[in-house]
């Protein structure tokens, strides 16, 4: 059975409009049970190793290499998934992190096995990407988008195309992973596969008005902003063509911007989805982040100007939270719904403030970022679980992403409060784990609107791989090691 992509979930309204029901007290008690974890003085490293043990126990070997199911043991979702967002590529990155932080060769060997499987699926040419871009979604599989009683326009080719080209849901994510494994292992076959994939992405670019596109989507997850960031990270594979395509990607995004007032612009996820989600994963924050990054890496002043307009719009719609602020999940009936993680909250949107702080020193963007961090803390998480911070502990929407952000703040500023808050998130996360001997997993609800649909997942943005990586970073920070991530994502501040 096909597992819906993040974009398809949005189009089917699974991520957008239901009310979170109350959770059973017994279930909360199970999550919070205190497990006996021994007397180790490195509990975060221990938990990361237990996460690896559980992931390894789910591995599936093939003639091509090794992969892992997204949701082990689930009859419907227990097959391997290929996206960086929640599939096997994220598990490969966790093994690279384990190798970097422990020095153990066995972890690099696991990453190589997973990369062999990914490399085998890289297309030989752009034909598959182009064909997906020309195709149309089987609308029989996807319900319409109910918004105030209206049905959104029919979904065109996008949902098919995003599985071919995007960063978190597509080929660009595979290229990034193969590059990372090549750097760690030195194996030229991974570099060759990454180059083949990068050339396929470049060849599949579709001229459109002022620039290029791959699908109808603008965002970080599967659209132009994420692909543009991947191109900037692929300059060693494509040379000058990567920067040229990234510039043209930025130019098309500028043309798609919607004016708000003088000095403010915003972007929609795509023209078929009328609900505006302004934050990082699907909205203005992520697109402005790409444009700002592009301006710093060989782009033009117009790219920075557009990014600044987007940032000013986001500041204008911010809502007070304590002595800071938060930004709504979506417009209309979501005006009082505030996510707190990477996807639709301060964790992701902070990347825009940080990027602009280095490019526009008079804009008070560092103060803006601090305001977003204070606004997040004022929401009372992780102890207070809300609609915007539900039973999810992962990098995208939950504890792990918030902890990762405050670890990054600690590395930049050295403030003990930031490290303490990261530990607070991680300690709550550990109480929610399920331990079986030497293995640990986290049973969670991936989507806010289906909080009782819980499962243990293996991937990066949703699952144990991303959780384990955060725990490695926290273990290092508590021992005075501020080196941060071993693998730098294209949408990370450190990528520039």
What is the DSSP track for 291-323?
HHHHHHTT--HHHHHHHHHHHHHHHHT-EEETT
Question: Exposed, middle or buried: residue 144 (CB in 10 Å: 0-12, 13-18, 19+)?
Answer: middle
- Tokens at 405, concatenated: 């952000």
How high is the pLDDT of residue 13? 44
How far CA 22 is from CA of 41, 387, 390, in Å, comes to 37, 10, 10
Q: What are phi and psi of 463, to 5 degrees?
A: 145, -175
* pLDDT < 70 stretches in the chain: 1-39, 125-163, 495-496
Determine the pLDDT at residue 14. Answer: 38
Residue in this structure with the two tokens 């990372």, named with its chain if needed: 180
Give residue 164's pLDDT.
77
CA separation, residue 210 to residues 223, 252, 346, 489 (Å) = 17, 5, 31, 28
What is the pLDDT at residue 363? 95
Nearest CA among 250, 346, 362 for reference residue 307:
250
- 439 sits in which H/E element: strand 439-445
Question: What pLDDT is attached to residue 7?
Answer: 58
CA distance 496 to 483: 16
440 sits in the region (left: phi over 0; alpha: psi -120 to 50; else beta) called beta
Q: Is the peptide bond before 315 cis (omega within 30 degrees of 0)?
A: no
Q: Could you give the C-alpha distances from 261 to 307, 310, 425, in angstroms and in order?
A: 14, 11, 38
Q: Considering Cα of 268, then 452, then 83, then 142, what sign does the dihedral take?
A: negative
CA 147 vs CA 8, 144, 275: distances in Å: 15, 9, 8
Answer yes or no: are the C-beta atoms of 297 and 232 closer than 8 Å. yes
With H, G, I as helix, E, B as strand and everything else as coil, classify residue 333.
helix
pLDDT at 127: 58
The pTM of the full predicted model, rounded to 2 decimals, is: 0.88
């Amino acid at each position: 059975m096909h597992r819906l992509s993040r974009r398809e979930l949005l189009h089917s309204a699974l991520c957008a409009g239901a009310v979170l029901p109350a959770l059973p007290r017994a279930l909360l008690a199970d999550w919070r049970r205190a497990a006996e974890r021994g007397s180790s003085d490195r509990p975060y490293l221990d938990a990361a190793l237990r996460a690896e043990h559980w992931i390894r126990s789910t591995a599936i070997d093939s003639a091509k290499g090794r992969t892992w199911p997204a949701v082990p043991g689930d009859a419907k979702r227990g097959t391997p998934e290929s996206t960086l967002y929640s599939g096997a590529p994220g598990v490969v990155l966790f093994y690279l992190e384990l190798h970097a932080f422990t020095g153990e060769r066995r972890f690099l060997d696991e990453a190589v096995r997973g990369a062999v499987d990914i490399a085998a699926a890289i297309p030989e040419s752009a034909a598959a990407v182009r064909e997906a871009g020309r195709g149309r979604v089987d609308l029989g599989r996807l319900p319409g988008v109910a918004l105030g009683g209206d049905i959104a326009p029919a979904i065109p080719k996008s949902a098919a195309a995003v599985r071919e080209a995007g960063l978190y849901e597509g080929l660009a994510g595979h290229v990034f992973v193969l590059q990372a494994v090549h750097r760690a292992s030195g194996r030229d076959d991974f570099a060759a596969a990454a180059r083949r994939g990068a050339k396929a992405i470049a060849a599949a670019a579709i001229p459109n008005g002022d620039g290029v596109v791959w699908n109808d989507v603008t965002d970080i997850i599967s659209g132009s902003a994420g692909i543009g960031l991947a191109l900037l990270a692929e300059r060693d594979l494509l040379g000058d063509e990567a920067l040229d395509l990234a510039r043209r990607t930025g130019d098309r995004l500028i043309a798609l911007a919607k004016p708000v007032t003088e000095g403010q612009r915003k972007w929609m996820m795509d023209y078929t989805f009328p609900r505006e989600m302004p934050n990082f994963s699907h909205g203005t924050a992520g697109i402005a982040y790409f444009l700002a990054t592009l301006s710093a890496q060989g782009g033009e002043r117009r790219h920075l100007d557009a990014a600044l307009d987007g940032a000013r719009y986001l500041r204008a719609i911010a809502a007070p939270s304590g002595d800071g602020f938060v930004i709504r999940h979506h417009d209309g009936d979501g005006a009082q719904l505030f996510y707190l993680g990477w996807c639709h909250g301060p964790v992701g949107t902070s990347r825009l403030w940080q990027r602009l702080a280095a490019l526009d020193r008079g804009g008070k963007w560092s103060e803006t970022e601090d305001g977003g961090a204070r606004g997040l803390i004022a929401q009372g998480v992780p102890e207070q679980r809300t609609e915007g911070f539900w039973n999810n502990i992962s990098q995208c929407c939950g504890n792990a992403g918030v902890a990762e952000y405050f670890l990054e703040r600690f590395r930049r500023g050295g403030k003990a409060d930031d490290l303490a808050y990261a530990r607070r998130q991680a300690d709550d996360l550990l109480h929610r784990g399920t331990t079986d001997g030497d293995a640990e997993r986290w049973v969670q609800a991936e989507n806010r609107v289906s909080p009782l649909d819980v499962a243990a997942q293996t991937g990066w943005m949703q699952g144990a791989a991303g959780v384990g990586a955060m725990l490695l970073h926290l273990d290092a920070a508590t021992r005075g090691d501020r080196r941060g991530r071993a693998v730098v994502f294209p949408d990370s501040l450190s990528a520039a």
